[in-house]
Structure 1
Amino acid sequence: MGKAFRTLVGRPVDDRAANPSGPDKWQLLDQLTQAAETYELSHRTLTVLQALLTFLPTRHIPSGPAGIVFASNQRLSERLHGMPESTLRRHLAQLLRAGIVSRHDSPNRKRFAHSRGGKITAAFGFDLSPMVHQADAISLAATEAQARQEELLALRDEVLMLRAMLMQETGHEEQLAEVAKLLRRKAEKAELCEMTAALKNLLKTGLEQASKTEEMSTAYAQNERHIQDSDIIHFDSEGQGTFTPERPHPAESKEAEKDQSVCLGQVLSTCKEHQSFFPEPLRNWADVERISDKIALMLGIDQPVMIDAKRIMGREAAAITVLCMLEKANAIRSPGAYLRRLTQMARDGAFSLKPMLMALANREIVS
């Protein structure tokens, strides 16, 4: 079956006038256009029906011989802008099968009419009165078809909205391609409902994963604050001893130089590689720590490893260690494992910053 009209044909709606002799023929044609799929009528078949209606002089379809169109195929073809006769016969047969028109044949199957006193008394051709008899059924079918069309449009709009939401995420290229393919054709209700459910499920899964990620990030942040702000007893991974860090105080950042015998100037004069990535000057220990956190991410050091290093070594010492690691990054195969090893040494009391900085400084002198 061909595709039916989606736009109404016939006279303008505003030009329709109620007629006591019966329903308006153009209104019936409009309703048939909306219900074309119900009656299995293509847009070309509806065009033929429109041409038949033009041979009736009144806007309503009269009963009896006056409602019979007896125009020849040649006349009909002329009004259809030269439609081939074979095509015309096929569409006329479709109208007959749908029960929209009936055929009132003469003995020789010719189409003609007899008139007396200006009125048609007998006619042979296509009778259009079945349209009047089925007017209520046609109107109901048009209403139902319009409701189905509105439901399909609403489903398509929902699919488009869900597709737009899914495009904001990554990793759904295959599903988005399927949606685009579906929307390029005339999809059925079941297909649209199935696609809507699939898209909602993908979005729900994405929200759940995002929520879990946010919870994990929050947990990491809370854990880091807890480590920094609480006096706790830490059991090392090998169960060989315990370490109780002191509660950090604001003054400790000033005393870090004394404890490690390392000054900020010495660190900045020895560790210069960070300037290639972060050229802004480091004026205090807070700047050093902020830059070292970024460098740790660049080196591929996991956040828990960095948190553990800060807790065991101290915040400034861990930051200096990361800057030193950047200086010889080419020689370190696994920065994360390297920092874990240094953290273990600090836990055992076998780690000191000064020898590390001196070795880097001596390397510059030798080179």
Structure 2
Amino acid sequence: MAFTQTSASAGARPGALLSADNSHPERHIIVDTLRQAAPLMGLKAPVIATLDAMLSCLPPKRQHNTVFASNATLAFRRNGISDRTIRRHAAILQDLGLLVRRDSSNRKRFTRHSAADGTALRFGFDLTPLFRRFPELAELAARAVRENDQIAYLKAKIRAAANNILNARSDDNNATSALRALRRNLSIEDCRTLLDGLDMVDMTIEQPGDMVVLGEEKMSASDGQNVRHHHNSNKEHIDMEERDEPKAHSTHQPVPPLSVMEILSACPQAAQFSPTPVKTMSDVVAHARTLAPMLGIDTRNYQDAQDRLGAERTALTVWAVMQFHEKIRKVGAYFRSITSGKNSADFVPELLVRRLSRARPLLT
């Protein structure tokens, strides 16, 4: 089974065929993307774990996407769950359109080749739909991340409003009920309904215009607020292997812009995951937004980077990080560090991409 490569280092090549090991994202990226998209798909963690076990049975170099492992093998890789559970999870995955079950007459999983015409019959769990739908799943994951961020914000707003009300009127039933409701899983609409039932008179919402940027910290413009110092206790743990990663520092000289062809040549891994040919910088930016949640870059970090670097240079950074993300222990922390954190002062995305382009012959 072959797949069409929609974009490659030499540009768009709609007729070129690649084997599955060259055109598919890595297993951990697929699983992480599914975990993020799970709330919007109705997918439970045990089912994702079973799919992960199936993915682990696929060889890295192959011309098909069929899992031939028996239920006993899958159960062993799932720490001893029952055959019945394996069958139930497979049925759920098939209903969601993530796999196709191809059964032989005796329910065994195997392949039969024809020497005459070079074709093959494969019986097992065919994961081709999962790989074909991966761009759609990445979009769902990005949407789920955005919704989770919005829900977290609304919950914080509800909690603050309810506490303000209870400080003034300790017997307010609406505020008490709202705080109790926060223990449940709430949708965006549920949160907005709760907010509509609360008195927001005493709530002060800080607007972006009220903030001034000093270095890397955002502080309110009011002298009356004691927010002049904020200590971040969450340390950024970056893998020591980052010392081997390409670095990009300012040279105090203008950096010429990159063409789309240069970006595709320097960052082929990112290009391979695009469902359509990447021809313009708008395509580069749009694809970077899809790649970001796959790599563990949340919405806030992406927005902070975009505020500092702009949309195109932020997209360049995502494409570059995708090229060497295996060397990074925490991609989200690394991305924040170079785009808006302590290592961002001299960071130049164009230089990073050009250095990756020069390193390509060595990497291959």
Q: Give the shorter-chain TM-score range.
A: 0.3 to 0.5
Structure 1 or 2: larger helix share? Answer: 1
TM-score of the aligned structures, taking structure 2 as reference length: 0.45
**TM-score normalized by structure 1?**
0.45
Bigger relative contact order, structure 1 or 2 (CA pairs below 8 A, ≥6 apart): 2
